[in-house]
A = this chain, B = another copy of it.
Amino acid sequence: MTSTVERILADGKQAALDGLSQFLRWRSVSTNPSLAGETRDCANWLAEECRRSGLENVQIWETAGHPLVYADWLHAPNAATALIYGHYDVQPPEPLDLWESPPFEATIRDGSLYARGSADDKGQVYMHLVAIRALLQAEGSLPINLKLILEGEEEIGSPHLEPAIEAHLADLSCDLVVISDTSMYGLGQPALNYGLRGLAYFEIGVKGANTDLHSGGFGGAAPNPLQAMVTLLASLKDGHGRITLPGFYDDVRTIPYDERVAIQALGDDEDALRAELGLDALDGEEGYSRLERTWTRPSMDINGIWGGYSGPGSKTVLPANGGAKLSFRLVPDQDPERVAALLEAHLHDNCPPGVRLTVRQLAGSARPWLADRDHPAMAAAGRALERAFGREPVHIRSGGSIPVVTTFDQLLQAPVVMLGVSLPDSHAHAPNERFNLDCFHKGALAAAYLWGELGRPTP
C-alpha cells in the first residue's frame, strides 16, 4: 500500500479509462421504462466488472424496479468494514441537440471525459473499482473489509432502496459508509462534504369551470384558475427572499458563528458565478452569503408551470385548469412531512372560491443531513484526499439532496463520509456532462489511501 499501488494506478490509467468508457455506453436511464432492459444489462455488466476487480460474493438484488448490485471483500478480520454506495443509473440525456459529442460515447476533450454519467455517478463508482483492483494487485489483499452496494434508481428518488436495505441489514452492516457522488470545491481543491439539504417536492393542480371559456363572455365572471395559481405561488415568498409559509422557519437550525466564519473563509466569488450564469444579480434570502443561502438555508423553487394556451399568437381563452411543480430544499431540523402539511394548509386556506385545488406530494423526499466535521473517519478521508491531491481538503456542504445518506445514517447506524471528486462545473443532469481526468485518477488514489488510513483494527 504505497509506491506499488501508486505505480499500478499510474500505469493503468488507459485501462481504467477504457473500462469506464464501457460502463458509460449503457443507456441506464432509470426514468425511461423503454430502457429498463438496457439498465438491467448495465447492472449485469457492472456485477461482472466487480468480479474482474477481485470482489467476491457478487450478487444482483432484485427490487420492484431496477436491481441493486452487491459485492464484497471480507478477508481483513481485524480491520473495520466500510460500505461503498454508488449508483449506475443516469439522468436522461435530453436535450440531445445540445451535446457536443454523443452522450453515450465517452469522448475525451480538454482533459475531461464527456458522457452522461461520467461524473454522476458511473465515473466515481468506477474509480473505486480501479482502486480496489490496484490494491489487490499490489498486496493480494485489502487493508479493510469492503462492501459495495450499487443502485439503479438514484436518479428517480431511490424508491426501492430503503426496503432493500431493511431486507439486507446483516449483509450491509458496517462501521462506515463511503459515498462518492458529490464534487470537490474546485479544480485542485478537494473537499469533504458534511451537509446536504433535504427535499420536499409537490405538484399542484387548479381547476375552474368544467370547460375552457371565452375570455370575452366570461372574463370578470368565471374564476381564472391560472390567476388563482399565480397568486397562491406568489404568496409563498416575500420580497426579501424569505418563504412565507407560517411556521416554515421554526425548525431551521441557526448556523453557528464558527461555521459562518469557515464558509466565509472559502472566499466564494459571487461575481464570477453571476457572470458565468449571465445574470445581472443573484437572488435569495437577505442577510446570507451565496454559500450560506444554498448550503445552510432552505429555499423554494417553482420547477414547472403550465396551463391554457401557449402556442403562437393569441387565443382568447379563459382556461379551465392549470398546474405547477414546486419544491423546497430543507435544512436541519426541517422535516419534509411537516413542510408538506404547512404547504397544504396554506394553499387550501388561501385558494379563492370557485377554484378547486389539489396538492400532491411527489416521491423523492429527503431529510436534510449534517455530519460531525470532527469525526475520525472524516479526518482519515481528509488525510487521504490531501495525499492524493496535494492539498488539504476544505469542509463544505451541498445545496442538493442525496436521500440515501440519511437512509444509511439511520438504518445502518454508521457515519457517512462523502468522498466526492467531480467538479462543480461537471454539468451533472445537463448536456455535456464531464469528469475531469485528473480528478478521476487522483480520486482512485485517494480511495486507495483511504482504505489504508482506515485499515486498522476496529477499535
Q: Are B362 and A157 in contact (CB under 8 A)?
A: no
Known: A220-B285, A303-B318, A308-B305. A277 touches B313 (CB 8 A): no
Stretch at the interface among A15-23, A256-264, A290-298, A405-413: A290-298
Contacts of A157 in B (CB 8 A): 314
Q: Which of A209, A212, A216, A227 has the most CB of B within 10 A?
A: A216
Across the interface, which residues of B come within 8 angstroms of A201, CB to CB?
314, 316
Q: Would A218 and B399 count as touching, CB distance under 8 A?
A: yes
Whether the pair A314, B354 counts as a contact (CB closer than 8 A) is no
Total residues of chain A contacting the partner, CB 8 A: 90
Provide the A271-313 mask, 1 if CB < 8 A to any CB of B, else 0: 0010001111111110000100110011111111111111011
User: Which residues of chain A from 311 to 352 have a CB within 8 Å of any chain B CB?
Assistant: 312-319, 322-323, 325, 327, 329, 352
Can you name the residue of chain B whose Cβ is closest to the Cβ of A219? B299
Tell me the A204-223 residues at the B interface (CB within 8 Å): 208-223
Who on chain B is nearest to A277 by CB?
B209
Known: A290-B221, A293-B221. A314 touches B325 (CB 8 A): yes
Q: State in angstroms the CA–CA spacing of A75 and B281 once bound together.
A: 72
Contact at B220–A284, with CB atoms within 8 Å? yes
A136 to chain B, nearest CB (A): 35
- Smallest CB–CB gap between A212 and chain B, Å? 6
The proximity string for A residues 380-422 relative to B, scoring 1 for CB distances below 8 Å and 0 otherwise, is 0000000000000000001111000000000000000000000
Given contacts A222-B283, A231-B234, 13 further A-B contacts (CB under 8 A): A31-B313, A214-B429, A215-B327, A216-B398, A219-B299, A219-B399, A227-B234, A230-B302, A281-B354, A303-B309, A303-B314, A304-B309, A306-B306
Sample (9) of A-B pairs whose CB atoms are under 8 Å apart:
A203-B314, A213-B430, A219-B399, A220-B283, A226-B305, A303-B308, A303-B314, A304-B309, A304-B315
